[in-house]
């Protein structure tokens, strides 16, 4: 990754969270400070997020978090910034970078306000001190693929054991046309039935990706198995080699996504208003790409990891009155909008979730191709 492109990851909540996670891994004292400050800044502190100390009389609850040391003096963002300036960046490894990326993906959310750690990482004093870490990450061996366009060789992921039958494939053109009609119908209904006040306690559709039934692939296995937004906790996965040689639109930055929305806008204000207001505090018009029309020009759309880190989970302005958001799109994932992609007549790979992530099972003989939908 080149330095200007890598520096841009600090423009995005996911990129800032990645760097903050790396800082915590490099220095346990920073982890303690981030835990305290993140709790204090979290809008859910004291409600869904609870802090308590362990003692002989205390029992842990599933949704509770504990302070490592309640007796420690309160930290300030300025003190944390000083500590960030003394990180031993030479200790950074590819393994740490991947774990931090996975954590950033796992904490992305589009239906409620950002958590305290995301708020903390966005403070100017903290963001400024994360810059050297982002620059060092740019030159780290093993993460070059974060900025690369779609790889020729891809993998389709089916989140079920290899022994279970694969779903039948569908016509992408028909699927996209049905999706576009459904989005417009939902928007019409939402404009009538849902409150205009963005503060209203209402939640609905929050994603901006192509619909289920459209083939999705990734370029890195097993890395991609850990990079799934809003992951439902699948225990099994089956991966199949795949490839496609069509016209691919690359999303490397916010500008690329904005260009799609300018060329192919689809109104989603009424259906996304409440969720996206919680995330961005922005009240206004929202659009997403009309994937049914994007598919008339492009065969596939690929989001680079750098594009994800710099652009996901924030309001991207299409014009003075209209914004959009990349929501629900996993880093390095490609969506195929036409039928040019194919799985290979090759071996399937089975995976099982272990204590430290997904581990491979024996290779499955190539008895037949497995068509995968997401």
- pLDDT for 269-319, tens place per residue? 999 999 999 999 999 999 999 999 999 999 999 999 999 999 999 999 999
Q: Using alpha carbons only, give the angle 47, 53, 58 rounded to the nearest 5 degrees.
A: 90
- Report, as an integer, the average pLDDT of 40-61: 59
**Which residue in the block uniquely carries the two structure tokens 């019409």?**
188
What pLDDT digit, counting tens, does each position of 169-209 carry? 569 999 999 999 999 999 999 999 999 999 999 999 999 99
| CA nearest to 9, candidates 109, 141, 121, 125 | 121
pLDDT above 90 coverage of the chain, percent: 76
Buried b (16+ CB within 10 A) or exposed e, 18-56: bbbbbbbbbbeebbbbbbbbbbebbeebeeebebeeeee
- Given a cut of 60, is residue 118 above it in pLDDT? yes
Q: Give the start-end residues of each E strand in the chain.
A: 50-52, 64-66, 153-158, 216-218, 236-243, 248-251, 265-267, 285-289, 300-303, 316-317, 322-324, 333-336, 342-343, 348-354, 357-364
pLDDT at 300: 97
pLDDT at 107: 97
pLDDT at 56: 41
């Amino acid at each position: 990754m080149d330095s200007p492109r890598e520096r841009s990851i600090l423009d995005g909540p996911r990129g800032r969270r990645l760097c903050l996670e790396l800082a915590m891994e490099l220095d346990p004292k920073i982890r303690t400070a981030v835990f305290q400050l993140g709790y204090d800044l979290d809008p859910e502190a004291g409600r869904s997020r609870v802090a308590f100390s362990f003692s002989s009389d205390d029992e842990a609850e599933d949704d509770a978090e504990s302070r490592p040391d309640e007796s420690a003096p309160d930290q300030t963002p300025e003190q944390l910034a000083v500590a960030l300036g003394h990180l031993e960046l030479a200790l950074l490894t590819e393994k740490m970078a991947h774990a931090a990326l996975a954590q950033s993906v796992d904490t992305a959310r589009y239906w409620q306000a950002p958590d305290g750690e995301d708020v903390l990482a966005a403070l100017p004093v903290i963001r400024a001190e994360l810059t050297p870490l982002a620059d060092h990450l740019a030159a780290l061996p093993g993460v070059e693929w974060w900025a690369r366009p779609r790889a020729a060789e891809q993998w389709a992921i089916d989140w079920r054991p290899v022994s279970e039958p694969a779903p039948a494939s569908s016509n992408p053109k028909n699927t996209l046309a049905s999706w576009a009609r459904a989005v417009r119908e939902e928007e019409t209904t939402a404009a009538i039935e849902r409150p205009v006040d963005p503060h209203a306690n209402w939640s609905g559709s929050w994603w901006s990706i192509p619909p289920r039934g459209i083939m999705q692939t990734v370029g890195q296995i097993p890395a991609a198995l850990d990079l799934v937004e809003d992951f439902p906790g699948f225990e099994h996965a089956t991966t199949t080699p795949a490839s496609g040689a069509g016209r691919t639109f690359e999303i490397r930055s916010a500008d690329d996504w904005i260009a799609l929305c300018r060329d192919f806008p689809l109104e989603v204000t009424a259906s996304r208003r409440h969720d996206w207001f919680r995330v961005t505090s922005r009240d206004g018009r929202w659009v997403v790409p009309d994937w049914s029309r994007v598919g008339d020009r492009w065969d596939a759309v690929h989001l680079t990891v750098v594009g994800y880190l710099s652009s996901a989970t924030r309001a991207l302005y299409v014009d003075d009155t209209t914004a959009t958001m990349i929501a629900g799109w996993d880093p390095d994932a490609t969506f195929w909008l036409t039928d040019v992609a194919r799985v290979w007549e090759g071996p399937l790979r089975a995976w099982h979730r272990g204590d430290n992530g997904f581990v491979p099972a024996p290779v499955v003989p190539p008895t037949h191709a497995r068509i995968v939908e997401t």
